[in-house]
Structure 1
Amino acid sequence: MTIDLRSDTITRPTLEMQRAMWAAEVGDDVLGDDPTINALEEKAARLFGMSAALFCPSGTMTNQLAIKVHTQPGSEVICDKLSHIYLYEGGGIMQNAFSSVRLLDGDRGRITARQVKDAINNPDDIHAAVTRLVSLENTMNKGGGSYYSLEEIRAIRRVCDDHNLPLHLDGARLFNALVETGESPAQYGLEFDSISICLSKGLGCPVGSLLLGKTDFIKKARRFRKVMGGGWRQAGYLAAAGIYALDHHVDRLKEDHARARTIGEMFRQKSEVEDIYPIDTNIVIIQLPESITAEDYVRRLEMLRIRAVPFGKHLVRFVTHLDFTDEHLEEMDKRLAKV
């Protein structure tokens, strides 16, 4: 067997999810009459206590739509230097929204209210870009699955309110945070102007993300989605997977977290591993010494049919997911003994 821990995006739909998909009633979403997509959007909006939602092909699209709607050309977006919207979305902030970025140096990707306040430009200073948006990521991919406290989010919200700034959440793995903290989606819906959630990571769907916000905001985002070529046709088959996942695949995320911590313990026994990021959710990041590059280590693991990704010159990332079982975990332990 191949043990694939490159990402939680590599999962296959379960048989039960497949049955839900093929049983879906579909229409044309561009025309607004795909009942299953409409049901998914309404379900997600209710879950977060927000007005509306928009089903999109990817989390990059939902993030980029949010930034586009919230900003104007020449704006500045505040985010952490490790943010997905900055590092992994193809320069979309600049290309789609014609905006610049103020990068903050947070704690494993988590910024503070004080940092945000200090980074907001004086709107009367004609030399500086106008700050238009603050964006957080929860959980933080490059931070090893770290997550915010709701208390800090509320403090950042107050700073945004004081400066009339919208607050966006890249919540690609938000449910991973929620099962750890015990907080509810509705609590997050109260704090953010827009939220992006991914259905194809920990929740195990084949494709799809959702953007949530107020009705007027989503109406504008829907127009920009069309401009970006993101209009669906009979995509209710995919939306049915999302509905199934929200109903059945959230609580089980705790299993992924437990297996991630076990993987961390395996690597603590390896002499070539210098350090391991704290394991808060389903992401494990190991740090290698200067003498071993991440590329070389990943190749060595590949020979044992263990798949991971280089995450820096000396960092390697492993992500647990729906298709990684206790059987895989036991087999991985045996194979790692050979490294």
Structure 2
Amino acid sequence: MSASPASDRAPVTGAGRPIDLRSDTVTEPTEAMREAMRMAVVGDDGLDGDPTVRELEAVGAAAMGKEDALFVTSGTMGNLVAALVHAGRGGEALVDEHAHVARSEGGGISRLAGLMCTAVRSHDGMMDLDALAASMRGDYSRHGAPTAMVVVETSHNHAGGRALPLPYLAAVSERARAAGAAVHIDGARIFNAALAQGVPPAAIAAFGDTVTFCLSKGLSAPMGSILAGSRDFVVRARSYRRMVGGGLRQAGCVAAAGLVALRDMLGRLADDHRRAHVLWASLRTPTPALVGNAPDTNIVLVHLGASNPGGATACAARLSARGILVRPRDADTLRIVIHRHIDDDAIRVAAAEIALATGSEH
């Protein structure tokens, strides 16, 4: 059954706010975060240091099982700074072909860090290990400089929030370190991945020399990420952070929200995972092919297929007219992200509207 024109039915949200499923970056700070920001003890982080930032860095490092950490404005900045530090050894970064650093960070690894970004064929967020080994260079050759870093992403955005298996991460780490290359984990949603796998985040971060994680996604802080690694790494990273415009001043005003995020918000990520599974199950009932495998975390991919008129862009527009905001992942796939502003009623309404817009309702 095809979707009805938007004009035939009243919008689901009336005069209220739309159901925003575009990303978990749309989350707003909690009242506790706002109060912590108001009361934060601050200092010049570019001079003597900001005490609240330093506290956040210590807590973030401990969560990742690393010696030290650096507060950065975003995950993209964290990944770039890591690349700048690791680029001292060589001239190549190996990433999976659908990695966020390759697709969504403006080419910073290449344009700013000077690393040739080599995409390795992958499936479900995981690089083919034979292809990875074949791409690895342990020394200079007529073809170029050695591999400087290997980047893995978990949970994996493009793969629908896939939590990469620990044995896979171990295999990547083993191959990279045998070639003398650093492993950087883009762990923007590493707490989601850890929850899905029933392990502490440090168990995932252990496979990387360095790791980033975001405070501004499911954890609901207004901004900021943490880049963690060895003490020596962070000393160098602090210098590169200044180079790319991250020499922060009274940053404790926002770091305070990050501390609340790490203290109060980790436990509630299970609600997002549960609701993502409920949405997946609701859409799967009439049309199993629409959503594929069950989500690991808080992201659901909706595979429209060639028969859906106008593809993902047109389907997103139809849903927007009905008060449901989603984003295309590619021409034929919608990406839906659950976060703390999405309750059970919102899931029920969204499931019905998505089923209608995709022509898969009962």
TM-score scaled by length of structure 2? 0.89
Among candidates 149, 158, 161, match of residue 133 of structure 1: 149
Deviation, 1:116, is: 2.5
Q: Contact 2:279–2:348 (CA<8 Å) still a contact in 1? A: no
- Of 105-114 and 37-46, more deviation after overlay is shown by 105-114
State whether structure 2 residue 243 is matched by structure 1 residue 234: no
Paired amino acid for 1:297: C
Q: Contact 1:73–1:99 (CA<8 Å) still a contact in 2? A: no
Task: Please state whether the residue corresponding to 1:31 is helix, strand or coil.
Answer: coil
Distance 1:152 1:63 in 2: 21
Distance 1:271 1:186 in 2: 38
1:19: which partner in 2? Answer: 35
Paired amino acid for 2:347: L
1:64: which partner in 2? Answer: 80
1:221: which partner in 2? Answer: 237
- Of 234-243 and 118-127, more deviation after overlay is shown by 118-127
Task: Please state whether the residue corresponding to 1:27 is helix, strand or coil.
Answer: coil
Among candidates 42, 47, 69, match of residue 31 of structure 1: 47
Q: Contact 1:26–1:234 (CA<8 Å) still a contact in 2? A: yes
Q: What does the per-residue CA deviation read over 1:131-183, in whole Å, with 9 as the maximum and x for residues that have no partner?
A: 11111000110000011122221222222221111110000000001011121
Deviation, 1:191, is: 2.2
Q: What does the per-residue CA deviation read over 1:193-236, in whole Å, with 9 as the maximum and x for residues that have no partner?
A: 11000000111111000100111211111111111111111111
Among candidates 105, 116, 119, match of residue 132 of structure 2: 116
Q: Contact 1:277–1:285 (CA<8 Å) still a contact in 2? A: no
1:324: which partner in 2? Answer: 342
Paired amino acid for 1:167: V
Show structure 2 runs of 5+ residues with no match.
Answer: 1-15, 358-362
Distance 1:230 1:102 in 2: 27
Distance 1:115 1:147 in 2: 21
2:325: which partner in 1? Answer: 307
Q: Contact 2:120–2:131 (CA<8 Å) still a contact in 1? A: yes
2:315: which partner in 1? Answer: 297
Distance 1:82 1:337 in 2: 27
Distance 1:18 1:270 in 2: 43
- Of 306-315 and 47-56, more deviation after overlay is shown by 47-56
Deviation, 1:73, is: 8.8
Task: Please state whether the residue corresponding to 1:90 is helix, strand or coil.
Answer: coil
Task: Please state whether the residue corresponding to 2:46 is helix, strand or coil.
Answer: helix
TM-score scaled by length of structure 1? 0.94
State whether structure 2 residue 108 is matched by structure 1 residue 81: no
Paired amino acid for 1:203: L
Deviation, 1:264, is: 1.4
Alpha-carbon spacing, 1:119–1:278, altered in 2? closer, same or farther (3 Å): farther
Deviation, 1:112, is: 5.0
Deviation, 1:273, is: 6.6
State whether structure 2 residue 181 is matched by structure 1 residue 165: yes
- Of 312-321 and 289-298, more deviation after overlay is shown by 289-298
Q: What does the per-residue CA deviation read over 1:37-63, in whole Å, with 9 as the maximum and x for residues that have no partner?
A: 000001111222211111011100000
Distance 1:331 1:190 in 2: 40
Q: What does the per-residue CA deviation read over 1:19-72, in whole Å, with 9 as the maximum and x for residues that have no partner?
A: 222221111111132110000001111222211111011100000000111014
- Of 8-17 and 260-269, more deviation after overlay is shown by 260-269
Distance 1:3 1:84 in 2: 25
Deviation, 1:113, is: 4.2
Paired amino acid for 1:180: A
Alpha-carbon spacing, 1:315–1:35, altered in 2? closer, same or farther (3 Å): same
Distance 1:127 1:201 in 2: 40
Show structure 1 runs of 5+ residues with no match.
Answer: none
Among candidates 256, 265, 272, match of residue 249 of structure 1: 265
Q: Contact 1:144–1:283 (CA<8 Å) still a contact in 2? A: yes
Identity of paired residues, percent? Answer: 36
Q: Contact 1:74–1:100 (CA<8 Å) still a contact in 2? A: no
2:4: which partner in 1? Answer: none
Distance 2:61 2:291 in 1: 40
Alpha-carbon spacing, 1:155–1:28, altered in 2? closer, same or farther (3 Å): same
Q: What's the Cα RMSD here? A: 1.9
Distance 1:151 1:47 in 2: 21
1:106: which partner in 2? Answer: 122
